[in-house]
Amino acid sequence: MTDPRIYDIAIIGGGMAGLTAAIYAARANKSVILFERKVYGGQILTSMKVSNYPGEPGISGYELMKSVYEQAKKYDVVFVDENVISIKDVAVKELETEDETFYARTIIIATGTKDRELDIPGEKEFLGHGLSYCATCDGAFHMDKPVAVVGGGNTALYDALYLSDIASKVYLIHRRDEFRGDAHLVEKLREKKNVEFVMESHPNKFLGDKKISGIEVINTAGKKRTLDVDGVFVAIGRVPATEQFKDIVKLDKDGYIVAGEDCHTSAEGIFVAGDCRTKTLRQLVTASSDGAMAATEAVHYLK
Ligand code: NAP
């Protein structure tokens, strides 16, 4: 089935950048379609507390984004719960999802980032069967059972702290001998009796039949160790969600879409907003700012 309408502005991604772009584009009286492949609200949804968004001290990520989403819904925006798998830049721009083709005069890519994967055997099969990238979403499934967290940044440290109040034991697996995350969090973790640091070690493979029952790690000396765990939480950073656009807009070596503060990509009429853009500060406020800028530039382009 094909939607024959040609929209003025198609927005890919329903996080802070995409929703802000939708509000600005709709307020400029343009026809707007917005695609979201997962959940409206984006990465910040899982943050218990957002303390650096002006005007909303201490709000949860969920509450903040619910409010932004409801604000966007007040306008005449078409929301499509589908993943855009490719773009064709011909007479008008074509956006393909798995089921449909959509047309637009301009596109704003606001797909943000996604979890970096370990890329070891079993990762795809065990996702949702003991393997998770979100401790606050799935931690409660492992009440009083042993779990492992992989990573050495602040996300992994916060995840380990959070899980130490739920799980019977938390193994924190990190590839180096010191953590990248904040020292005060490491100190807090040291005080926890049920947290064990597994340093200079890298996960080698997941173990289990249909559901995770353990993880094999290998240390820098080549020694293997099996940890019997009911769940594994991977928190090794994020990567831009941009692969499907690599042939249409210029990406940098890490996969971010190359654009300055005006949000113009290398392709005419295609703009980028939020964390998937090359920039130095990836925060809610800069995502929101990009959304406003990209929509305004798209409106100028349409003129
Ligand atoms: P991060 O700071 O980039 O840390 C990623 C961690 O994963 C690093 O320790 C890295 O090891 C490890 N790693 C990367 N690739 C790996 C691989 N293939 N295999 C094994 N380990 C791997 O990411 P993050 O922890 O998600 O944090 C992202 C940003 O958000 C940071 O600026 C962080 O401070 C911030 N943040 C802030 C808060 C807060 O303040 N409330 C909470 C969470 C995150 P190496 O150290 O060896 O490179």
Smallest Cα–Cα separation from 146: which of 130, 172, 168? 168
Q: What's the CA-to-centroid distance between 27 and ligand 1, angstroms?
A: 38
Complete edge-to-edge strand list for the sheet that includes strand 211-219 = 201-209, 211-219, 224-228
Q: Burial letters for 79-94: b for 16+ Cβ neighbours within 10 Å, e otherwise?
A: bbebbbeebeeeeebb
Average pLDDT over residues 272-284: 97
CATH topology classification for 123-234: FAD/NAD(P)-binding domain (3.50.50)
* Per-residue pLDDT at 119: 92
Q: What's the CA-to-centroid distance between 180 and ligand 1, angstroms?
A: 7
Residue with tokens 């113009």: 264
Q: In angstroms, rounded to a whole number, what is the distance separating the alpha carbons of residues 52 and 59?
A: 10
Q: Average pLDDT over the chain, rounded to whole?
A: 96
* Per-residue pLDDT at 15: 98
* Per-residue pLDDT at 197: 98
User: What's the pLDDT tens digit per position in 97-121?
Assistant: 999 999 999 999 999 999 999 999 8
Fill in the DSSP letter of residue 178: S
In the predicted model, is pLDDT for residue 47 greater than 90? no
Amino acid at 147: V
Q: Which of 175, 201, 204, 206 to mutate to test the pocket of ligand 1 (most atoms within 8 A of CB)?
A: 175
Q: In angstroms, rounded to a whole number, what is the distance separating the alpha carbons of residues 256 and 241?
A: 8
Domain 6-114+239-302 has CATH 3.40.50.10800: no
Residue with tokens 């990248």: 180
Which pLDDT band holds residue 2 (cuts at 50, 70, 90)? Answer: low
Q: Is the CB of 176 under 6 A from ligand 1?
A: yes
Q: Is the CB of 180 under 6 A from ligand 1?
A: yes
* Per-residue pLDDT at 147: 98
In the predicted model, is pLDDT for residue 259 greater than 80? yes
Which pLDDT band holds residue 1 (cuts at 50, 70, 90)? Answer: low
* Per-residue pLDDT at 4: 76
Which pair of tokens denotes residue 16?
């802070």
Q: What's the CA-to-centroid distance between 36 and ligand 1, angstroms?
A: 26
Which is the closest atom of ligand 1 to the Cα of 202? 20
User: What's the pLDDT tens digit per position in 128-171?
Assistant: 999 999 998 899 999 999 999 999 999 999 999 999 999 999 99
Alpha-helical regions (H) of the chain? 16-27, 61-73, 123-126, 135-138, 154-164, 183-190, 284-302
Q: What's the CA-to-centroid distance between 116 and ligand 1, angstroms?
A: 10
Does residue 230 carry a catalytic annotation? no
Q: What's the CA-to-centroid distance between 135 and ligand 1, angstroms?
A: 14
Q: In angstroms, rounded to a whole number, what is the distance separating the alpha carbons of residues 281 and 275?
A: 9
* Per-residue pLDDT at 258: 98
The closest residue, in CA terms, to atom 36 on ligand 1 is 154
In the chain, ranges of CATH 3.50.50.60 domains: 6-114+239-302, 123-234
Q: Is the CB of 233 under 6 A from ligand 1?
A: no
Average pLDDT over residues 221-239: 97
Q: What's the CA-to-centroid distance between 246 and ligand 1, angstroms?
A: 25
- Give me the percent of the chain exceeding a pLDDT of 70: 99
Which pLDDT band holds residue 84 (cuts at 50, 70, 90)? Answer: very high
Q: Is the CB of 113 under 6 A from ligand 1?
A: no
Q: What's the CA-to-centroid distance between 238 and ligand 1, angstroms?
A: 8
Q: Which of 52, 136, 155 to mutate to test the pocket of ligand 1 (most atoms within 8 A of CB)?
A: 155
Does residue 138 carry a catalytic annotation? yes
Q: Is the CB of 46 under 6 A from ligand 1?
A: no
Q: Which of 180, 185, 199, 205 to mutate to test the pocket of ligand 1 (most atoms within 8 A of CB)?
A: 180
Average pLDDT over residues 186-209: 97
Among the listed residues 137, 228, 252, 262, the single catalytic one is 137
How far from the centroid of its chain's Cα atoms is residue 280's Cα? 17
In the predicted model, is pLDDT for residue 90 greater than 90? no
Alpha-helical regions (H) of 165-205? 183-190
Does residue 137 carry a catalytic annotation? yes
